[in-house]
Amino acid sequence: MLTENESKPAKAPRAAPSARVRRNGLYTDIADHLREMIQEGELAPGSRILEKDLCEYFDISKTPLREALKVLAVEGLVTHRQHIGYRVAAIDIDEIAAVFEVLHGLEETAGRCLAKRVTEGALHAIERKHQAMVAHHHNGKRAAYFQLNQEIHQMMIDAAQNPVLSSIYAGLMTKIHRARGVANADSARWQESLDEHEAIMAALQAADRSKLPQLMKEHSEHTAVESMKALRATRIE
């Protein structure tokens, strides 16, 4: 257990970090790994960080770990209180809910624009990225899957050829990155999300793309429901 969460037990950690990190123990490498674990929901929002377990996990002393945690504290990903220690920063659930409401409309709008404006080159690039994402799912590579998932969403928005939409969307997705990671940490939602992506790709490649806006909106809505459910389950009162 790498964190302690009073409302929900911590899930099993991922495979051990790279030998490079274990050998040199640089705090920047540790910070990178912890940042990824937080953003993907592996370390739950609000959970207490257990330094002893993390030191054993990374095979390092407390010094580089604490230096890494200081970096993440500056970034707002962890908090620190004297005599209590470090916690993964909580997520503002009300703000996330508000962001999702806006995203649903943006996804639908993007779907309409995408259906009319996507080029063959953009379509092929999205398909290649999608197939790589599917391979990561089959191989159980959650972190790599989630990274490509994020990239595909932005690629589709960009392919709608509306720079204002692309800019607003990118900013909002940054705000909900951690929330989506928490939801994707659930295996059932991970499969559902992939199935929805498959349906979106089929609609994008069809001669009649009329279903695309609704599918993109529904995917956003389903992601929001599961994200909010996961966030409420990890909230510490």
The predicted-structure confidence for 108-132, as pLDDT tens digits, reads as follows 999 999 999 999 999 999 999 999 9
Inter-residue contact 212 to 126 (CB < 8 Å): no
Phi, psi (rounded to 5 degrees) for 49:
-85, 125
Helix (H, G, I), strand (E, B) or coil at 118: coil
Q: Which amino acid is at 51?
A: E
Backbone phi, psi, residue 80, to 5°: -140, 135
Global pTM?
0.73
Check pLDDT > 70 for residue 237. Answer: no
CB 215 within 8 A of CB 200: yes
Which region among 11-25, 48-62, 196-210 has the lowest average model confidence (pLDDT)? Answer: 11-25
